[in-house]
Structure formats: C-alpha cells, structure tokens
Amino acid sequence: MPGAYYTLDSLEASNSIGYLVKRCGILMTQIAEERFESQPISFTQWIILIQLAQHPHLSPTEISTHLGHDMGALTRIVDDLQEKKLVHRERSEHDRRAVQIALTPEGRRLAFSAKAAVLDLANEIVGPYAKAETEMLISLLQRLVLHMEGIAGRLPAEPSSAEAKTSSARRAAAPVPVEGPRKARRDSRK
C-alpha cells in the first residue's frame, strides 16, 4: 500500500477531495435551481424525475439512498410531484407490502424537456476544459464514486446491461490510478 497522500499538516479544505466535491455539488445545485425558476418544477424535483425515467419503479429507499435525501424530505418532494401528476406510487409486483415510485407520461415528458436546461449548464461548467480534460475528470469522478461506494459498503445493485457495458468500457479505458486518500468519511445529510 503506497504512503498516505494527506498528512495532518497538509489536509485543508482547499485541497480536500471531499470538501471540493461537496462544494461543487452545492454550487451546481444552487446554479441549477436558479436556472429552473422558469420551469414548472425545481431542479431537485427534476433529478428525481430523470432518475425515474432512467430506472423505472424505484422504491423511496432506493431514491433516498442514491440522491442523498432523507426520507422525510424525499416524501415531501414525491408528494409534490404526485400532486402535479408527474409521478404515482404503486405496489411492487414482487412484494405487495412495498411501494415504488413511477413516472406518469407527463412526468416522463417533463423530465426530458427540462433536460435542456441541465445540458446548457453542464456544457457551461466544462467549457473551460479541453475534451480530454473533461473525459479525464469524468473518469476520475466515476472511479471515486465506485471506490467510495465500496468503502461505504454500498455497492450499487446489479446494473442494467447498458450500464454494465458503459461501466466496463469506463474501467477498461480508465487511466492509471491516482494515489489519494485511502479512507473517506461518510457524508451525513439531514
């Protein structure tokens, strides 16, 4: 095992992977929420809709775990989306005691039509970088997510065949590992 990247003297917010990734996420959400003011839904609501468009019939627990919302906050968001007739709750086909969230046709339409606002923002964010730099950043972040899911003991459920192919291609094309921290603290959100 190589030596630790950080030391007590060198670890600061300005060079902390955890802080920098979280700060980017906060800024992304703030900017996106502003851009979504002209939309009939919020950016946070859109994130749930687009997840459901890509993974139909998710349980509230799956959505909560994946997106980092506590169950109370998620319930309020889903209630709002259901009131707008964008999602509905239904009983699981596998376990009648379990509830799953599914998109309505209008929810699916809105998920994809609002994606244009996110597309513009995503391109603006990577605008200063060369294509190769953007691809490297994406690859490193994807590897970081997989590594941290392993640390957290939360390896994702079986990916769909398309996800598995994409993930395998990413791993095959992944650059030489970058040495970094070996332990991560779990982000506890309220």
DSSP state of 115: H
Distance CA 48, CA 141 (A): 21
Cα distances (angstroms) measured from residue 10 to each of 44, 48, 184: 35, 38, 16
One digit per residue, the tens of pLDDT, for the chain of length 190 reads: 578 999 999 999 999 999 999 999 999 999 999 999 999 999 999 999 999 999 888 888 888 888 888 888 899 999 999 999 999 998 877 777 888 999 999 999 999 999 988 999 999 999 999 999 999 999 999 999 999 989 988 665 544 444 444 444 444 433 333 333 333 333 333 3
CATH of domain 13-128: 1.10.10.10
- Domains in the chain: boundaries: 13-128, 129-190
d(CA 185, CA 81): 32
Q: What sign results for the dihedral spanned by CA atoms 55, 47, 61, 171?
A: positive
Output b/e per residue, 148-180; b: 16+ Cβ within 10 A. beeeeeeeeeeeeeeeeeeeeeeeeeeeeeeee
Using DSSP's 3-state secondary structure scheme, residue 99 falls into strand
CA distance 87 to 120: 25
